[in-house]
Amino acid sequence: MKRTIVLVLAALAAAALFGGLVHAVLVVAHLSEPAATTVYGLTSRRLWATTAVVLALVGVLIGGLALARPSSRFGTASALKGFPLGTIVALVAGLIAVVNGWLNLAIANGGPGTGNGVVGAAGALVLGLIAMAVGGLALDRSRRTG
């Protein structure tokens, strides 16, 4: 029972931290003001941002697997020309998500609700940085054990 409560509280703290980081990215990009008129539906920029978020999430998950289970298929034990597969996937997916999130924020001309995908782009930027950090930690672990 105590472990479940701790896990729920940790998940809530992680979600709050993620939301705070996304808001901080929007403030830094000067795109935190909501739109006067809200655009509903899926626009091309929202689709672009959503794709970048999904790619970043895949990078975080694969990097987490590589870090948590070193003897698995994506772990530090499997090598792709001397580099562990999971770490390379996490680093590349994170980098692609960071670049796409930054590009989407750079060309956006409005805040949340304008259809520009700025919330998704900020989420991709934050998750991409997390994926790169987790992939870097897994790569460091593979070099220390190898």
Note the pLDDT of residue 47: 93
From CA 84, how far away is CA 70, in angstroms rounded? 9
Note the pLDDT of residue 82: 65
pTM of the model: 0.82
Note the pLDDT of residue 128: 94
pLDDT in tens, 4-54: 888 888 888 888 888 888 888 888 887 777 777 778 888 888 999 999 999
Token pair of 28 as six digits: 């830094």
Confidence class for position 125, pLDDT limits 50, 70, 90: very high
Of residues 93 and 111, more confidence is placed in: 93
Flag the least confident range among 26-35, 92-101, 127-136: 26-35
pLDDT in tens, 67-96: 887 666 665 555 566 678 888 889 999 999
Of residues 142 and 107, more confidence is placed in: 107
Contact 77, 84 (CB under 8 A): yes
Note the pLDDT of residue 80: 61
Query: Among candidates 107, 96, 105, 104, which has minimal Cα distance to 129?
Result: 96
Note the pLDDT of residue 78: 58
What domain range is 122 assigned to? 2-145
Report how many domains make up the chain. 1
Q: How many CA atoms lie within 13 A of 30 on its CB side?
A: 3
